[in-house]
Structure 1
Amino acid sequence: MTWTVGLSYLVLGVYGFTLITGLPANLLAFYTFLLKVRQHPTPIDVLLLSLTISDLIFLFFLPFRMVEAANMKWTLPYFLCPLSGFIFYSIICNSVFHLTAISVERYLGVAFPIKYKLKRSPRGAFITAVMFWSVSMMHCSIVYFMQYGSYLNLTDASKRNTCYQEFSEDQLKILLPFRLELSFVFFFFPFFICCFCYIKCILILSRLSNVNAKKRHRAIGMALGTLLVFAICFMPFNISHVQGFIEGYSPEWRDHALLSSTLNACLDPFVFYFSSSALRQTFKSVLEALVRRLLRPCFHSALYCLSLNRARAEEKTQSTDDSIR
């Protein structure tokens, strides 16, 4: 990435929007799912809690990238560069796995409601989440290999002012095939599973006459929300992997595609909203409290104006009566 003033503003704008919108939404989701898991956990609650924690970690490390964009070079201690990159890419891969698992859980619950209800367990969802975290982090540990590999990197780390951007030909020979493998494991195959599960869910619910319209609309909303996250956040970045492998170098637009991946942290709460009735209730309670708080000063002001006008009217009536007498 060649930094320019315009690009710096664009990156800061996207990262800032993600942080401002994603942080409160994910904190609210974390509070809701944590209470739900402690009281009466279900597999989807465990998966949603794990995904929320993933997004919060991502948002915590996002300011490091914002500092780089503001200075248009890497000025922080260099050990934070591979660490932030490792977290950045691991969370993207981890989110894809979690969203796919949620789609599978929803499909099994709709297609096999009785059998799946008897066999599902929060413990299985917890083990699955741990596996997702482990696989994602093991794959993305290549960031450290690329940054600190002694025979690949000849420049002293302390003297670099770029972060995971410049690669030699020897590095690209390893990195480009690895990115292609990542695109299939962490995007194309999961995306196919999500499409299959949600399309089947919608078809099954549309055939059931006893399913109310609200539940059907929530299922459609969750399906569209998840597929929207895949299309906006993950598809451009993974297509750049395929193009880079075919052409033998990283395409210039890859960094812009990576920029859209950050929006995942603020779009995930939409999936949470359609997936959890507890979160919908929490959002509703918080929204009502905010509305009451915002309208209270206006209400008091209206009452004050009304009482003031009434007092003036009474005073005018009294003065009129006095003049008549």
Structure 2
Amino acid sequence: MQHCDYYLCLTIYIVTFITGFSANVLAFYTLSRKVWRKPAPIDILLLNLIISDLLFLIFLPFKMQEVANNMVWNIDYFLCPLSGFVFYMTIYNSTFFLTAVSVERYLGVAFPIQHSLRRRPIYAVFASIFIWVFSILHLSIVYIVPYYNPSGTVPPSRNVCYEGFTDAQLEILLPVRLELCIVLFCIPLLICSFCYINFIRILSKLPNIGRRRKLRAIGLALGTLLVFVLCFGPYNVSHVVGFITKSSPAWRDKALLLSTFNACLDPIIFYFTSAAVRNTLGHIFITNLSSFTLFSINRTQYEDIDHWDK
């Protein structure tokens, strides 16, 4: 059985849940209003990415509970494959939606006229539906395998979640994990790398874009690629190692922590990609700053009056 370091895993899960949930709720509120008023393809893709992250965060407490109980699953077992399915499905959802955003941004600078003429929000809706269905179908294996028992032998222990697979289950699971690595990570990574590398190359040569705006766009592209590799790379490498060694590597849970942390990093991408999110955060910051300043002034005046009264 894999063992996730108690303090490390629980700390990262809690930090991810608190910061990621609040940031994604704010981004969801902002982008949903933007999409309702004037939908743009990239806003629709980002909104779906937010929904995927929120769904991931809603089921994250199950992982927190598992770690808190030393990787022992002491609640109803049917929640194990269900939470695992949502957990892993939304991770791969993120890779696809981040890739779709990279394609949208690349087309916008590589073929600005043609893309603006053919740019329709409905295309982003169809792409989003395809991504959800594709991820659900591929990750359904996570829900099915724990119940797969063709030999009729004693099933794996029900007090451990998504571990202790039989040889028959591993014969199905390990090749599928390798396929997930290739289809749901490697191919999106290649597409994302192609789009952002060419995006940077084209953007750096455009003379009519301000230096500050250009640097922000290039920084966003490089940051997205870095998040893609660091958050999803190690976990998908564990699929390859598991396929070769015929067992899950001991560091698999620690690699999964990086994928978990992606839910905190996605809002940063929302901030730099969407002007609506930037404006909302700026408005909130200014409002809070004004309230704090007004409170400080009133408190100072009260202390002065109290001083003279004495």
Indicate the TM-score class for this superposition, using the shorter chain for normalisation.
over 0.9
Over 3 Å counting, the alpha-carbon distance change for 1:156 and 1:244 in structure 2 is closer
Counterpart amino acid of residue 174 in structure 1: I
Please state how far the C-alpha of 1:153 moved relative to its aligned partner. Answer: 7.4
**Corresponding position of 2:235:** 237
Counterpart amino acid of residue 162 in structure 2: Y
Counterpart pick for 1:297 among 274, 295, 298: 295
Partners of 1:204 and 1:3 lie apart in 2 by 47
Structure 1 unaligned blocks of 5 or more:
316-325
Q: C-alpha deviations, 1:165-191, integer Å up to 9, x for none?
A: 211222222211111111111111111
**Corresponding position of 1:78:** 77
**Corresponding position of 1:107:** 106
**Corresponding position of 2:61:** 63
Please state how far the C-alpha of 1:55 moved relative to its aligned partner. Answer: 0.5
Partners of 1:253 and 1:144 lie apart in 2 by 22
Asked if residue 130 in structure 1 is aligned to residue 135 in structure 2, the reply is no
Give yes or no for contact 1:236–1:257 (8 Å, CA) kept in 2: yes
**TM superposition score normalised by structure 2:** 0.94
- SS of 1:141's partner is helix
Give yes or no for contact 2:178–2:239 (8 Å, CA) kept in 1: yes
- SS of 1:164's partner is coil
- SS of 1:51's partner is helix
Moved more, 248-257 or 285-294: 285-294
Partners of 2:294 and 2:152 lie apart in 1 by 61
Structure 2 unaligned blocks of 5 or more:
none
**Corresponding position of 2:168:** 170
**Corresponding position of 1:139:** 138
Over 3 Å counting, the alpha-carbon distance change for 1:29 and 1:253 in structure 2 is same
Counterpart amino acid of residue 287 in structure 2: A
**Residue identity (%):** 51
Give yes or no for contact 2:174–2:239 (8 Å, CA) kept in 1: yes
Cα RMSD, aligned residues only: 1.8
Asked if residue 9 in structure 1 is aligned to residue 1 in structure 2, the reply is no
Give yes or no for contact 1:152–1:171 (8 Å, CA) kept in 2: no
**Corresponding position of 1:118:** 117
Counterpart amino acid of residue 106 in structure 1: R
Please state how far the C-alpha of 1:301 moved relative to its aligned partner. Answer: 1.8
Please state how far the C-alpha of 1:308 moved relative to its aligned partner. Answer: 4.5
Partners of 1:168 and 1:10 lie apart in 2 by 29
Q: C-alpha deviations, 1:234-287, integer Å up to 9, x for none?
A: 000011111111222211111111121111111101111111111110111112
Partners of 1:18 and 1:265 lie apart in 2 by 7
Partners of 1:33 and 1:18 lie apart in 2 by 21
Asked if residue 213 in structure 1 is aligned to residue 221 in structure 2, the reply is no
- SS of 1:162's partner is coil
Please state how far the C-alpha of 1:76 moved relative to its aligned partner. Answer: 1.3
Asked if residue 33 in structure 1 is aligned to residue 48 in structure 2, the reply is no
Give yes or no for contact 1:146–1:153 (8 Å, CA) kept in 2: no
Partners of 1:152 and 1:249 lie apart in 2 by 20
Give yes or no for contact 2:148–2:169 (8 Å, CA) kept in 1: no
Partners of 1:153 and 1:199 lie apart in 2 by 52
Partners of 1:152 and 1:84 lie apart in 2 by 26
- SS of 1:123's partner is helix
Partners of 2:120 and 2:175 lie apart in 1 by 38
Counterpart amino acid of residue 36 in structure 2: R
**Corresponding position of 1:185:** 183
**Corresponding position of 1:89:** 88
**TM superposition score normalised by structure 1:** 0.90
Give yes or no for contact 1:201–1:219 (8 Å, CA) kept in 2: no
